[in-house]
Chain A
Amino acid sequence: GAVVSQHPSRVICKSGTSVKIECRSLDFQATTMFWYRQFPKQSLMLMATSNEGSKATYEQGVEKDKFLINHASLTLSTLTVTSAHPEDSSFYICSASTGVGGRAFFGQGTRLTVV
């Protein structure tokens, strides 16, 4: 099956700094990538949909200036958590697909801890 790689798998950062998370499709071209957030012992909440070469579409309640998404190529999307605070600590998971009608393949997730 298709492989989606997320990096880093774990990151600890100081409050006020920015953190970048990468999501790569290793063996297919992903025209669309999705970013999810998972709080402890809770479900995955869709944060945004990114299409290669265009601006991301954010779900209601997600701060676009806080969570910057870039999808500059068909194999890479990045999520940058800007000015991170402890409440941003969470498990972030991306998925990638070839587009409408395609199946989503999930990355292994990134556990962010802001101290």
Chain B
Amino acid sequence: AQSVTQLDSQVPVFEEAPVELRCNYSSSVSVYLFWYVQYPNQGLQLLLKYLSGSTLVKGINGFEAEFNKSQTSFHLRKPSVHISDTAEYFCAVSGSRRDKVIFGPGTSLSVIP
């Protein structure tokens, strides 16, 4: 079975500063990894995904994440955040079934003007 840990439940950051949202996973099988964003009162939007290949994955809105198998991590980064990045961010994992997604507890990113 897979599980996901997001150590930071809330991350406040000033506008134009860099941010890193941490994600660690556990799995007994090869995994697929995802980051989703949820804006207030909205559904989910896929930011980026790691399926195979290059461990550095670039997504939408200037976000990127790096898959580190030895540390079982998939941290999300952005070099300069905007107010519009304020949202809930979910790290997620799936195993042999890529479509069956298990979500982490989420990290609330608040960008301070």
A residues lining the B interface (CB < 8 Å): 6, 32, 34, 36, 41-46, 49, 93, 95, 97-104, 106-109, 111
Interface size class of B (residues with CB under 8 A): 20 to 34
With CB as the reference atom, state the residue of chain A lying closest to B91: A43
The one of A45, A97, A103, A106 in contact with B43, judged by C-beta atoms closer than 8 angstroms, is A106
> Chain A contacts of B41 at CB under 8 A?
111
Is the beta-carbon distance between B99 and A34 smaller than 8 angstroms? Answer: yes
B69 in the interface (beta carbon within 8 A): no
A104 → chain B closest CB, angstroms: 4
Using a CB–CB cutoff of 8 Å, the interface residues on chain B facing chain A are 36, 41-44, 46, 49, 90, 94, 96-106, 108
A112 CB to nearest chain B CB (Å): 13
Whether B98 contacts A43 by the Cβ 8 Å rule is no
Candidates A41, A43, A49, A111; contact of B100 at CB < 8 Å: A49
Given known contacts A34-B99, A100-B98, A104-B94, what 9 new A-B pairs fall within 8 Å (CB)? A36-B103, A100-B97, A103-B49, A103-B98, A104-B98, A106-B44, A107-B43, A109-B44, A111-B41
Chain A minimum-CB-distance residue to B102: A46
Q: Point out the residues of chain A lying under 8 angstroms from B100, CB to CB.
A: 34, 46, 49, 104
* Alpha-carbon separation in the docked complex, A106 to B90 (Å): 13
How near does chain B come to A19, taking the closest CB pair, in angstroms?
Answer: 18
Smallest Cβ-Cβ distance to A32: which chain B residue: B99
